[in-house]
Structure 1
Amino acid sequence: MNISSAKKPSARFAPWDNPDEKPLVRFKNVTKRFGSFTAIDDISLDIYEREFFALLGPSGCGKTTMMRMLAGFETPSEGIISLGNDDIGKVPPYKRPVNMMFQSYALFPHMTVEANIAFGLKQDKWPKDLIAERVEEMLALVQLRKFARRKPHQLSGGQRQRVALARSLAKKPKLLLLDEPLGALDKKLREQTQFELMDIQEKLGMTFVIVTHDQEEAMTVASRIAVMDDGKIMQVATPEVIYEYPNSRYVADFIGDVNIIEGRLVNKTAEGIKLSWAEGEPEISIANNVNRSENENACLAIRPEKVHVTRDEPKDADNKIRGQIDDIAYVGNLSTYHVKLSNGTIFKAQESNIRRLANREFTWEDHVWLSWRSTAGVLLD
């Protein structure tokens, strides 16, 4: 998986690290049941003003239920959801300073672009001159001025997505909810639109919460990500921390590609500890994990791009193992090598394709060495 390194808010923007900062949205011990089924299980979560926050997880993990409770379409079975200082658990959707952009866009086909954007403002009985001013402002924001008189069927998918966004933003909500907003777009347009969303959110200084199952999308747009599974939040952190320091096997395996090695911790020193993991294979050196004890069972996560492939045995590597190339995944800028070790384990390594395919250094059935630094792996609970 190629994780995008998109523009993020300034490193100084980290209200979650400031104990004096009050969250805009707070879930406190929230549970949601549908009959005997528990969709959300005792979740507590804070989301701060000006965040672009992502709820990420597979289908059925509870992320859409979280968003529907924020929007007011569902009420919690237990716990409190607050926006600012107000408990909004039982406030109806139309009375919340929250708007939602749906995956289907839900545009009115018989209305022009400007009429679609103005619809909510008319419903709220804004004065005509203020409606016209706000619609013009939104058209400029999403760069659709010249399409103002067109109807949705005369627009591309990306343009319809921007109309839906403009309509959602027109009423100046405190919180904008985005439900898989880019799912209907092709890959290239989706990537372009991710950056447009980030720019708009940054310009407006508004809080966005996006629901997605796309790891790359969440990693690209979000200031923080909540990884969910089975109605629970597994980890909340910045994209960098989620990727580099997952707190569990589930998170490591869900985000990106990873090698997971199971074993037992041995030979602890001040510099680190070793993992004994397979008969006939050398122990793996792990630095900066001195808080773990000897004789514990543990899992080690190593990202494939941190593993180097060489034909000759590396002399100064902290860790090295030998195997045979079993498969190669070529994705243009990268190749992922699946290397079978003597015990049958498949280990993945990723290399940039700086040479043309015909001049690739390694091919199927080649015997190679894999090596990585002692700081490359992360011990998981």
Structure 2
Amino acid sequence: MKSLGSIRRSFAPWNDPEAKPYISFERVTKRFGDFTAVNDLSLDIYEREFFALLGASGCGKSTLLRMLAGFEEPTSGRILLEGQDLRGIPPYRRPVNMMFQSYALFPHMTVEANIAFGLKQDGMSKADIASRVAEMLKLVKLEQFAKRKPHQLSGGQRQRVALARSVAKRPKVLLLDEPLGALDKKLREETQFELMDLQQELGLTFVVVTHDQEEAMTMADRIAIMDKGQVMQVATPAEVYEAPSSRFVADFVGNVNMLEGTVAERSDNAATITGASGARIRVENAGEATEGSSVAFAIRPEKIKVSSKPPADGATNVMEGEIWDLAYLGDMTVYHVKLSDGQVVKASALNSARTMDDPLSWHDRAWISFAPDAGVVLTR
């Protein structure tokens, strides 16, 4: 089987102007009384894509999934699957299946009976059901647990039974609502990679709802960041992290330092940003920021270097401060450096050696520095 890494590197239909979306949300709005759960949202998802809807509770991501499944109808707008408008088509007639966080397994049925349930409802022959169930058990590596009941399985095994039941009917699209939420951290991490491999093997389109950033970043080809019923940015995990489109996205995904300031000078793409304390930040790419405008400079902690001595002459973007707090996390150390204007900047350093060459402790003077291309300028 082709390696997952090479598949994910080459898979990018959204960059192909000739590619047609597999699923389209066209100006979809969903209201519940006076509350607007989804607000004039448009979004395209491509065939065989592992797509994640990421956001805090109440942002509208589960409502979007339920509308695609057919459990809710849009108040306005259209949802298309392969060009077909899904309005009015009941859930059981849509070529999609949904896997819930609770798994919703039948407690009185065995593993194989749970997997076979939907196939029986569809009137499949006994021989075909037996063949399909055996195929699904092999796929999720549960052949030896076929005769067990759900209560005799671990959380991870129950999750795989629910997954096997969801894909047994061979839907075109599999919808997953917080699929790993009930698992412990270690098992959740292992299952993320199992889901990715399974999705590639089956060749299905997966749409997953999650509030777990790490989960979305690990599994998805692309992520839609949602807030208050709207999509704030749709991009690959790397683009969302390295090139957020707004303060909200930068702050929502991962750890970030947000340095507010004004564009003092602009030359071609480069610019100089002046902070409230007079600190000057040189950036290589100021994006759409204009001279005199107020902007935020967003920079991730791992892009910042911390030292006990001033950097060598010629270093750019150097600021002096005090170690206000620190945390040793084993693989890395996180420093909170308080600058002269009172802002606390977070920086992280990998502990690549057993002993530290430049040890820093609480209340030590420290200097932070970063390259002109280490962060991103945000205008909204």
Give the TM-score of the pair, scaled to structure 2. Answer: 0.96
1:331 deviation in Å?
2.4
- Matched residue, 1:173: 171
Alignment equivalent of 1:304, drawn from 301, 305, 310: 301
Say whether residues 1:108 and 2:116 are aligned partners: no
Q: Please list, as runs of the form range in 1=range in 2, the aligned pairs for 1:151-170 lying within 5 A after superposition.
A: 151-170=149-168
Say whether residues 1:329 and 2:327 are aligned partners: yes
Structure 2's unaligned 5+ residue stretches are: none
Report the 3-state secondary structure (helix = DSSP H, G, I; strand = E; otherwise coil) of the residue aligned with 1:10: helix
- Matched residue, 1:240: 238
Q: Distance in 1 between matches of 2:287 and 2:162?
A: 51
Query: What amino acid is aligned across from residue 286 of structure 1 in structure 2?
Result: V
1:290 deviation in Å?
5.9
Report the identity percentage.
59
- Matched residue, 1:133: 131
Q: Distance in 1 between matches of 2:271 and 2:356?
A: 41
1:9 deviation in Å?
3.3
1:71-130 superposed Cα distances (whole Å, 9 cap, x missing partner)? 100000000001112100221101101100000101011111111000000000101111
- Matched residue, 1:3: none
Q: Distance in 2 between matches of 1:56 and 1:8?
A: 25
Q: Distance in 1 between matches of 2:358 and 2:106?
A: 53
Q: Please list, as runs of the form range in 1=range in 2, the aligned pairs for 1:2-17 lying within 5 A after superposition.
A: 7=5, 9-17=7-15
Query: What amino acid is aligned across from residue 7 of structure 2 in structure 1?
Result: P
Q: Do 1:9 and 1:223's aligned partners in 2 also have CA atoms closer than 8 Å?
A: no
Say whether residues 1:287 and 2:284 are aligned partners: yes
Q: Please list, as runs of the form range in 1=range in 2, the aligned pairs for 1:182-221 lying within 5 A after superposition.
A: 182-221=180-219
Say whether residues 1:374 and 2:372 are aligned partners: yes
Q: Do 1:8 and 1:221's aligned partners in 2 also have CA atoms closer than 8 Å?
A: no
- Matched residue, 1:265: 263
1:333-366 superposed Cα distances (whole Å, 9 cap, x missing partner)? 1221111011110001010123448987111111
Q: Please list, as runs of the form range in 1=range in 2, the aligned pairs for 1:115-130 lying within 5 A after superposition.
A: 115-130=113-128
Say whether residues 1:51 and 2:49 are aligned partners: yes
Q: Distance in 2 between matches of 1:323 and 1:172?
A: 59
Q: Do 2:289 and 2:295's aligned partners in 1 also have CA atoms closer than 8 Å?
A: no
Say whether residues 1:88 and 2:118 are aligned partners: no
| Farther off after superposition, 261-270 or 298-307 | 261-270
Q: Distance in 2 between matches of 1:376 and 1:360?
A: 22
Say whether residues 1:27 and 2:30 are aligned partners: no
Q: Do 1:69 and 1:89's aligned partners in 2 also have CA atoms closer than 8 Å?
A: no
1:152-180 superposed Cα distances (whole Å, 9 cap, x missing partner)? 11110000000000000000000000000
| Farther off after superposition, 206-215 or 18-27 | 18-27
Change beyond 3 A, Cα 1:275–1:361: same
User: How many correspondences in the alignment?
Assistant: 375
Q: Distance in 1 between matches of 2:316 and 2:302?
A: 16
1:268 deviation in Å?
1.5
Report the 3-state secondary structure (helix = DSSP H, G, I; strand = E; otherwise coil) of the residue aligned with 2:188: helix
- Matched residue, 1:250: 248
Q: Distance in 2 between matches of 1:184 and 1:19?
A: 39
Q: Do 2:96 and 2:175's aligned partners in 1 also have CA atoms closer than 8 Å?
A: yes
Q: Do 2:318 and 2:369's aligned partners in 1 also have CA atoms closer than 8 Å?
A: yes
Alignment equivalent of 2:360, drawn from 359, 362, 369: 362
Give the TM-score of the pair, scaled to structure 1. Answer: 0.96
Report the 3-state secondary structure (helix = DSSP H, G, I; strand = E; otherwise coil) of the residue aligned with 1:9: helix
1:22 deviation in Å?
1.1
Q: Distance in 1 between matches of 2:121 and 2:328?
A: 53
1:312 deviation in Å?
1.1
Q: Distance in 2 between matches of 1:332 and 1:27?
A: 44
Q: Distance in 2 between matches of 1:72 and 1:143?
A: 31
Q: Do 1:270 and 1:290's aligned partners in 2 also have CA atoms closer than 8 Å?
A: no
Q: Do 2:272 and 2:280's aligned partners in 1 also have CA atoms closer than 8 Å?
A: yes
Report the 3-state secondary structure (helix = DSSP H, G, I; strand = E; otherwise coil) of the residue aligned with 1:251: helix
Report the 3-state secondary structure (helix = DSSP H, G, I; strand = E; otherwise coil) of the residue aligned with 1:216: helix
Structure 1's unaligned 5+ residue stretches are: 1-5
Q: Distance in 1 between matches of 2:180 and 2:91?
A: 23
Query: What amino acid is aligned across from residue 299 of structure 2 in structure 1?
Result: I
Q: Distance in 1 between matches of 2:87 and 2:328?
A: 49
